[in-house]
Amino acid sequence: MSPAAPLRPARPGRPVPDAVAYLTGRWAVERELFDLRTGTAGSFRGTARFERDGDGGRVRHVEDGELRWDGAPPVRAGRMLGLAPAPDGTAEVTFADGRPFHGLDLRTGRWTVRHPCAADRYDGAFTVVSADEWHVRWRTTGPAKDHLQSSVYRRLPPEPGGGR
């Protein structure tokens, strides 16, 4: 993907009636990152786990992998988010500390979202490609950032003795 690619789902989405049920499990993650202000680029390769987090149906989204940036040696990187399912199949995504991030509605297979963060703005586009693949693009603009991220998630087989 080139840094100039438009921020919209690239293809029609596959409808998903329940976002949390769809995402629960293990995924391989491939992410391309571009800093459009400096012209630098990088990548993240790793895994994402969407696991139930106690009562109430909440799901913890944990990513772990290797970040490569602009020719520097790779470093370990990761993040954690939360998902709170709603009865209609949508979810609210939160940061690890519980602050709201964005809604998530995959019932049409596509979803766009905007999140203000201080003076910057995050615009996201989600597309469900198949039962085992989904994509997300984030464009971040503002006084502090001019970034583009493009991620592909592919479902991994269940771990022996585990769930999905």
Say how far apart CA 73 and CA 71 lie, in whole Å.
7
- CATH H-level, domain 19-155: superfamily: Calycin beta-barrel core domain (2.40.128.20)
Dist CA 61 CA 119 (whole Å)? 26
Domain coordinates of the chain in residue numbers? 19-155
| Assessment of whether the complete model's pTM goes beyond 0.85 | yes
Phi and psi for 23 in degrees, rounded to 5? -75, -25
User: Tens of pLDDT along 73-94?
Assistant: 999 999 999 999 999 999 999 9
Identify the CA nearest to 122 among candidates 103, 106, 145, 99: 145
Positions of the chain with pLDDT under 50: 1-7, 9
